[in-house]
Amino acid sequence: MRLRLDQRRGFTLIEALVAFAIMTLALGQLLRALSVGAENQRRADFLSRASLDGTSHLAEIGVSLPLAPGGSSGSYIDGLRWRLHTVEDRSAIGPAGRITLVGYRLRLDILPQTGGAFGLTLITEKLVARQQEPFP
């Protein structure tokens, strides 16, 4: 007894191709999700290290590092690059011989060591008390 064509078991070529296409799309979406997750992890690691390095750097300025208008740049031990721009922002002039307050605006840009599309910018202001020379 012979089986008719419509009674045979198994998948047709069309069914196999459709199943393969669906599996390929699902695998592509899975790989994309893993890639986005890895990028987010790398960005979170950068932001964590940059915020620690940057806040420490800004805290040292005016204490162990000089506070003066201008710019400077360098890199931290962990390889992150930084640029600091300092501008004299405001000053309060008191009577002759009195203390004067000078305000500075500091902008610290921190970039990844390999370059990249993102970075971290920290902005703060510092006040410095200066003794003004008395007028003759």
**Residue ranges per structural domain of the chain:** 11-131
Rounded Cα gap, residues 44 and 37, in angstroms: 10
Q: Rounded to two decimals, what is the model's pTM?
A: 0.68
Tell me if residue 97 falls in helix, strand or coil: coil
Residue 107, beta-bridge partner list: 85, 123
Average pLDDT, the chain: 84
Rounded Cα gap, residues 105 and 108, in angstroms: 10
Residue 126 confidence (pLDDT) above 70: yes
Give me the mean pLDDT over the 101-110 stretch. Answer: 92
pLDDT recorded at residue 5: 56
Among 91, 84, 134, residue whose Cα is nearest residue 108: 84
pLDDT, one tens digit per residue, over 26-60 is: 999 988 888 888 888 888 999 999 999 999 999 99
pLDDT, one tens digit per residue, over 53-93 is: 999 999 999 888 888 899 999 999 988 999 999 998 776 66
Q: How far is CA 88 from the centre of its chain?
A: 26
Stronger pLDDT, 121 or 133, i.e. the higher one: 121
Spatial contact of 108 and 121, defined as CB atoms under 8 Å apart: yes
Spatial contact of 110 and 81, defined as CB atoms under 8 Å apart: yes
Residue 132 confidence (pLDDT) above 80: no
